[in-house]
Amino acid sequence: MKKVRRKIGKYEVGRTIGEGTFAKVKFAKDSETGKSVAIKVMAKTTILKHKMVDQIKREISIMKIVRHPNIVRLHEVLASQNKIYIILEFVMGGELYDKIVRQGKLSENESRRYFQQLIDAVAHCHKKSVYHRDLKPENLLLDAYGNLKVSDFGLSALTKQGDDLLYTTCGTPNYVAPEVLSNQGYDGAAADVWSCGVILYVLMAGYLPFEEVDLPTLFRRINAAEFVCPFWFSAGAKTLIHKILDSNPKTRMKIEEIRKDPWFQKNYSPVKLREDEQVNLNDVQAVFDDIKDQYVSERSEITKGGPLIMNAFEMITLSQGLNLSPLFDRHQDYVKRQTRFVSREPAKVIISSIEAVAESMGLKAHSRSYKMRIERVFSNKVGQFAVVLEVYEVAPSLFMVDVRKAAGDTLEYHKFYKSLCAKLESIIWRPAETTSDSGLSRQLTF
């Protein structure tokens, strides 16, 4: 079977690096500059079916307005007849969430540095009348230099002068401010500050300040601001966190006060912004209009039969420099939401082996060419668990299996991946030089 590699306008599109209910994120390269980008791909039919036009337009507009070194940059927006393409900065260091999963609690100095960058980014958003409303470690990315980048403005609000309160209850329960749950209107700035306080606690503690098995108990604790700081928090950190996690939004610490706090000020170097860039939102409107001359060209390049060949620019993004050990090493203490292993078995053998293992685990496998979706759907339970696997040829007779969570709980995915690898031990290949435990255990997640 022939495989297809696409080009969207000037972008050469590669592997899928993220997958959600309404969109996929593809890795791509700008063929003019050689720079890596991430392309969020959304079908117009899906947007219309779920009445998401206004939400997507708002998200795109907001990301163009809030340009800041600590916010994922939106380069441009393109459209074909059937799809919308959001071209984003490619942030290769993965989610801050994954760093916490790997390390547990971070040092106070490292936590402070991330918190300073987070506050700078959020302050910039608020200056532009933008309120994120879903701040959490999963939505904070790290670049190649370890700098924080705020992402995912899908639930954000852009207010007009005179609109003081927001009314939509949204966000992630463990990070949401108590007043958001009251259904009486809330100040977006104060709600974002609360979420920042929860994030600081998680960075330094390695666990959540508010966590319960049932939502009513969780909400009661949040409303009462009922939490305890671990003994290893310094006095300055404890004081700051208690002032931020104040259940009363009127007396809760404000961003300008946080920036003046002695604990926050330590080694603080405010980011230098360029002069405000002119923001043109015409292309945002254009992608939703049926104007044929606005359509980007969408071309397919057919390669020979077999799995899609992973080219050099994709290989480099999967490795640390030119050290390819992260591709092969899977002996680690944690598993990220996107993981991979390498095999020297033929691609068809890899696919059939995975299908057999999925069946033995009581899961349903759906294969098409060299891509597979494995899922478990409970008839008596809301929600589902699903994983997507794709086979790439990285060298002659050397194949990489890319695995990523498509739906369900992250911890459940961790367990699934470990079990999958254990059952596929006979086909997984590891080069001899990575068999030791000598620090070659880090994988990149994109």
Name the residues annotated as catalytic. Answer: 134
Q: Quick one: which of 146, 149, 446 has its CA closest to 319?
A: 446
| Contact by Cβ (8 Å): 153, 67 | no
Helices of type H across 206-281 = 215-223, 235-244, 255-260, 262-265
- The strand pairing partners of 16, in sequence order, are 26
Q: SS3 of 193, please? A: helix
Of 173, 76, 70, whose CA–CA distance to 125 is shortest?
Answer: 70
Binding-site residues for ATP, in ranges, read 49
3-state helix, strand, coil in the chain (%, to 5): 35, 25, 40
Contact 343, 401 (CB under 8 A): yes
- Which residues touch 181 (CB under 8 Å, ≥6 apart)? 169, 219, 222, 223
| Torsion angle (degrees, nearest 10) of CA 201, 202, 208, 210 | 30
Q: Is the separation of the CB atoms in 3 and 306 below 8 Å?
A: yes
Residue (of 67, 71, 126, 79) closest to 280 by Cα position: 67
Residues in CB range of 360: below 8 A, 6 or more apart: 423
3 state DSSP class of 405: strand
Beta strand 308-309 pairing with 384-395: parallel
CB 39 within 8 A of CB 88: yes
Q: Supply the DSSP string of 36-80, one letter for each residue.
A: EEEEEEEEHHHHHHTT-HHHHHHHHHHHHH---TTBPPEEEEEE-
In whole angstroms, give the CA distance from residue 87 to residue 68: 16
3-state secondary structure of 145: coil
SS3 364: strand
Structure tokens at 306: 């077999």
Binding residue numbers: 49
